[in-house]
Structure 1
Amino acid sequence: MTLTDDVLEPVRIAAQAASDKMGHNIVAFDVSEQLSITDVFLIASAGNERQVGAIVDGVEEALLKTGRKPVRREGDRENRWVLLDYIDFVVHAQHTEERLLYNLERLWKDCPQIPLDIEQPEEAAEEQ
């Protein structure tokens, strides 16, 4: 299945919002061939719980400006791994430790990675 701009555009907006909030190692996978419940997984990391929360808030604010609200938000009490479900795509904001432990990239390595073309602040680019 080829992803449409209706899906890719908000994914890229979410990725840029995560980057703007100092998220790092931001990647997106086209999981549409493997899953029937969503088309894209967007993953971003942060070094602490406060930063995970900032990424989540930034993504929600940016997508609200386009008229999109998540249908589900999970994990925001601990802010170690927060999931925002937008039906067509799911945003995973993870603490760096959770990212290493659960290694979603390994689970979805057979799925095509989506080029995001995001600008990263200098501090976040240096961390990578």
Structure 2
Amino acid sequence: MTVSDDVLRPVRIAAQGAADKLGHNIVAFDVSEQLAITDVFLIASANTERQVGAIVDGVEEALLKHGYKALRREGDRENRWVLLDYVDFVVHVQHSEERTLYSLERLWKDCPQIPLDLDLPPAADPSDDEQ
């Protein structure tokens, strides 16, 4: 089974929402063959708890504009690993340390990665700080 366009559309909206809030290492996996409860895992990282919260808010706002509302939100008390459950897909926003520790990519390495085609913000130029 492959993931339908009806699922991929909001996954890509969520991924772009994470990228717009400077989430990094944004990847999506088609887990539909391995799990009966969801089709896609979207994973994004941040270096601070505050940034994790900002990314989560950005994902939710981007999806709400298109009529998608999370069924469940977990882990936002400490903002180390927040999970947004949209039934057909699940968004994991992890602090970089949790991302390294739990290594979801390793767990789902046999699942196909989904191309996201993100419009990434330009990288900060270190020379801008010197002016």
| TM-score normalised by structure 2 residue count | 0.93
Alpha-carbon separation, structure 2, partners of 1:121 and 1:73:
26
| Alpha-carbon displacement from aligned partner over 1:26-75 (angstroms, at most 9, x marks no partner) | 00000000000000000000000000000000000010011111000000
Partner of 1:112: 112
Alpha-carbon separation, structure 2, partners of 1:4 and 1:64:
20
Shift of 1:4: 1.0
Alpha-carbon separation, structure 1, partners of 2:58 and 2:5:
21
Q: Which runs of 5+ in 2 are unaligned?
A: 125-131
4+ aligned runs moved over 4 Å, structure 1? none
1:60 aligns with 2:86: no
Alignment partner of 1:94: what SS?
Answer: strand
- Whether contact under 8 Å (1:27, 1:116) holds in the other structure is yes
Match of 2:4, as an amino acid? T
Alpha-carbon separation, structure 1, partners of 2:26 and 2:70:
19
RMSD: 0.9
Shift of 1:116: 0.2
Alpha-carbon separation, structure 1, partners of 2:122 and 2:64:
26
Aligned pairs for 1:47-86 within 5 A: 47-86=47-86
- Whether contact under 8 Å (1:32, 1:39) holds in the other structure is yes
Alignment partner of 1:123: what SS?
Answer: coil
Partner of 1:38: 38
Shift of 1:118: 0.3
Alpha-carbon separation, structure 1, partners of 2:123 and 2:66:
28
Alignment partner of 2:41: what SS?
Answer: strand
Partner of 1:91: 91
Shift of 1:123: 2.9
Match of 2:46, as an amino acid? A
Alpha-carbon separation, structure 2, partners of 1:116 and 1:15:
7
- Whether contact under 8 Å (1:22, 1:123) holds in the other structure is no
Alignment partner of 1:59: what SS?
Answer: helix
| Alpha-carbon displacement from aligned partner over 1:58-94 (angstroms, at most 9, x marks no partner) | 0000100111110000000000000000000000000
